Structure 1
Amino acid sequence: MQIWPAIDLRGGKCVRLQQGDYNRETVFGDDPAEMAQRWTDQGAECLHLVDLDGAKEGQVSNRTAIAEILKAVNIPCELGGGIRDEETIQTLLDLGMARLVIGSKAVSQPEWFEEMCLRYPGKLALGIDARDGLAATDGWLETSNMSAIALAQKYEHLPIAAVIYTDIATDGMMAGPNVAAMAEMKASIRFPVIASGGVTTVDDVAQLATAGLDGAIVGRTLYEGKMTVSAAVEAARAALL
């Protein structure tokens, strides 16, 4: 199971939100590239970036910080937030992003998403952010009437890299992940599933690994020093022995 340290970008800084609420923000650093290097030094083998401004505004807004991160580290990075057109996809892949996470547009314009997945096989991940089991969009500001699992199953015929599944209720709350929901998603589709939201302790990591998840995004607990990347990586490996 892969461990994906999260770097959430807002106004060019590293921040974390609680339950996706833009009014409940904590700033953890002014230099995202330095933060990326810190996680790499701790043993990170990949990074999960989120452009929070982009998610809200519908266009990538932290390009400078994103480019600096890609220059600073030599590991695969994925990015979500504000990716709503093909030009942006091409620009970010050319910049060196390993893959891109698309969420809102997969809900609102399924034909476009399908076309992009076929045009960029293995380069796009489906980002599903769920509130009470329903897919949320537009920086979590709107909730759709489609279940998270139904949304994932709708695209099972496409060459998608992974499903990034976030439980909004647990995200940033340091209270543990929704393991049952993550396991249910994993059991319902053929794609790799990356769990996000609430991962706080090595036991959380172990539970997700045991449940069959392919990866876990880890955020606030790293920034607050409650767990290291190396400890998370070791917990994931040990759980699968």
Structure 2
Amino acid sequence: MFIYPAIDLLNGRCVRLRQGDYSQETVFSDDPAAVARKWVELGADRIHVVDLDGAKAGKPVNGPVIRKIVEAAGVPVQLGGGLRTDQDLAAAFDWGVRWAVLGTRALHAPEWVRAAAERAPNRIVLGVDAKNGYVATEGWLEVSQVKAVDLAKSVSAAPLAAVVYTDIAKDGMMSGPNFDALAEMQSAVTLPVIASGGVCTLEHVRRLVAGGTPGCIIGRALYEGSLDLAAAIALTRDTRPDRRLL
């Protein structure tokens, strides 16, 4: 299993939100590039970045900071937040981003997501953020009437790299992942599913590994010190999936 330390950007700083609530912000660093270097020094071989300003604005906002993160990390970077046009994708790839995560636009224009994946095979990731099983959009400010698994199925035939599945109720709450919802998503699509939200102990990591989860994103637990990144990575060394996430 691959582990993606998360760097969430708001006003150019590294923050964490609780359940996607912009009013519940904790600032962890004014230097996101330095944070990326720290995670790589501890063994991370990929980084997950979210442009929270971009998710709210509907277009990328933290481009200069993202470029610095990519340069500082020296490992593949996955970016989500506000990527909704061909121009946004071109900009992200120009910044050196390896994988672009498409969320809100996937709900409103699944055909565009499929076309984007055809143009950039194995570089587009479907971001599915869910609340009570239904897709949340616009930086988690709105909840649709579309089921998360149905959205994933609608684009799963395209040459996507993976699906990032985030349970909003678990994100930033340090309460563990929604294993049942994750298993439902894994059974619904053949794409690799990256778990996001609630991973905060080594036992959670072990359970994800045992369940065959190809990847997981870890945020607040790393910043607050309840989960040691090096120890978590050590648990996954023999379970790296030989799939498109490579």
TM-score category (smaller protein): over 0.9
Q: Deviations over 1:67-113 (max 9, x none)?
A: 11111121110000000110110121122111100000000112222
* Matching residue of 1:152: 152
Q: Which consecutive unaligned segments of at least 5 residues does structure 1 have?
A: none
Deviation of 1:235 (Å): 2.4
* Matching residue of 2:60: 60
1:233 aligns with 2:230: no
Q: Aligned equivalents of 1:105 and 1:156: distance in 2?
A: 15
* Matching residue of 2:143: 143
Deviation of 1:232 (Å): 1.1
* Matching residue of 2:6: 6
1:99 aligns with 2:94: no
TM-score scaled by structure 1? 0.97
The answer to whether the 8 A contact 1:210-1:239 is kept is no
1:79 aligns with 2:49: no
The answer to whether the 8 A contact 2:113-2:155 is kept is no
Q: Aligned equivalents of 2:224 and 2:51: distance in 1?
A: 21
The answer to whether the 8 A contact 2:117-2:124 is kept is yes
* Matching residue of 1:69: 69
* Matching residue of 2:40: 40
Query: In structure 1, what residue type is equivalent to 2:211?
Result: A
Q: Deviations over 1:105-133 (max 9, x none)?
A: 00011222222111111110000000000
The answer to whether the 8 A contact 2:66-2:95 is kept is no
Q: Aligned equivalents of 1:170 and 1:102: distance in 2?
A: 20
Calculate percent identity across the aligned residue pairs: 48
The answer to whether the 8 A contact 1:153-1:189 is kept is yes
Q: Deviations over 1:162-184 (max 9, x none)?
A: 00000000000011111111122
Tell me which stretches of 4 or more aligned residues in structure 1 moved more than 3 Å: 237-240
Give the 3-state SS of the residue equivalent to 2:199 in structure 1.
coil
* Matching residue of 2:162: 162
* Matching residue of 2:218: 218
CA RMSD of aligned residues (A): 1.2
* Matching residue of 2:198: 198
TM-score scaled by structure 2? 0.95
Q: Deviations over 1:8-63 (max 9, x none)?
A: 00000000000000000000000000000000010001000000000000010111
Q: Deviations over 1:137-191 (max 9, x none)?
A: 0100111111111111111210000000000000000111111111221122100
Q: Aligned equivalents of 2:91 and 2:22: distance in 1?
A: 27
Query: In structure 2, what residue type is equivalent to 1:48?
Result: H
Q: Aligned equivalents of 2:161 and 2:214: distance in 1?
A: 12
Q: Which consecutive unaligned segments of at least 5 residues does structure 2 have?
A: 241-246
